[in-house]
Amino acid sequence: MGFRDLAYRLYERRLEASLSGKAIPRHVGVMCDGNRRWARSAGHTDVNKGHLKGADKIFELLQWCKQSGVEVVTLWLLSTDNLTRPRQELDPLLLIIEDTVNDLIDEGWHVNPMGALDLLPDHTARVLKHAAEVTSHNPGLLVNVAVGYGGRREIADAVRSLLVDHASKGTTIEQLADAVDVEHIAEHLYTAGQPDPDLVIRTSGEQRLGGFLLWQSTHSEFYFCDAYWPAFRRVDFLRALRSYSERNRRYGS
């Protein structure tokens, strides 16, 4: 081990020790951004090299979250906007996502797909639905896999589901208008029954939400990291947790 590696390990341990007794987020949302830019910066002409490297990083992150006591992780892997990418990039990316989800199944994680699955190719949608079915009783960390996900689409889907649900019970529009509130809509979100994200991390240096968990992130703390997603390190994750632990969460009070 070289001096640089030793220094890194010591710093990592110091960061970890600084979190002892501090508040740890129950739910962490991660915008896994920068795969293509990482590939280009590494000299690859095929951006799927970045997507593959980014897929490997997911499993490292989940172990870090498990070790830290995080209960829910939401990974944004593909947005509704990403579905407009050229087929020569999108098709291999969807295969990488399918392989990643199958690996999550094999490793025993509790997988919850979220997104507009009807916009995805049939095979990809089937893989995601299968993951939800076969891992639904797995204990431990819950992994939300956001594929074909958009925050506005989620809210629209929630309202649509709410209307259909009440229509099936014979509720009139007037009755629904009088009764509907924030909690009713939240019950129909992709994350229904889960705690809202306490911490949202975005990699690659971009400082915007881009539609990620628009409804749920009202009171979330945000951490923006300059590293591209494939280069995201445990020390970066620990820094995000340290930043979170140092904030005073007032929830508007």
pLDDT tens for each residue of 134-159: 999 999 999 999 999 999 999 999 99
- Catalytic status, residue 226: no
pLDDT tens column, 31-67: 999 999 999 999 999 999 999 999 999 999 999 999 9
Tell me which of 56, 82, 144, 248 is the catalytic residue: 82
Cα–Cα distance for residue pair 103/180, rounded to 1 Å: 40
Asked if residue 224 lies in contact with residue 54, where contact means CB atoms within 8 angstroms, the answer is no
Asked if residue 37 lies in contact with residue 231, where contact means CB atoms within 8 angstroms, the answer is no
Cα–Cα distance for residue pair 125/131, rounded to 1 Å: 10
Asked if residue 197 lies in contact with residue 221, where contact means CB atoms within 8 angstroms, the answer is no
Measured from the Cβ of residue 129, the count of other Cβ atoms closer than 10 Å reads 12
Query: To the nearest whole number, what is the mean pLDDT of the chain?
Result: 95
- The pTM (predicted TM-score) of the whole model is 0.94
Q: Which of the 8 DSSP states describes residue 197?
A: P
Cα–Cα distance for residue pair 7/60, rounded to 1 Å: 21
Tell me which of 5, 33, 91, 198 is the catalytic residue: 33
- Scanning the chain, the segments in alpha helix (DSSP H) are 3-18, 35-41, 48-68, 87-106, 122-135, 151-168, 173-179, 182-186, 234-245
- Catalytic status, residue 248: no
pLDDT tens column, 39-49: 999 999 999 99
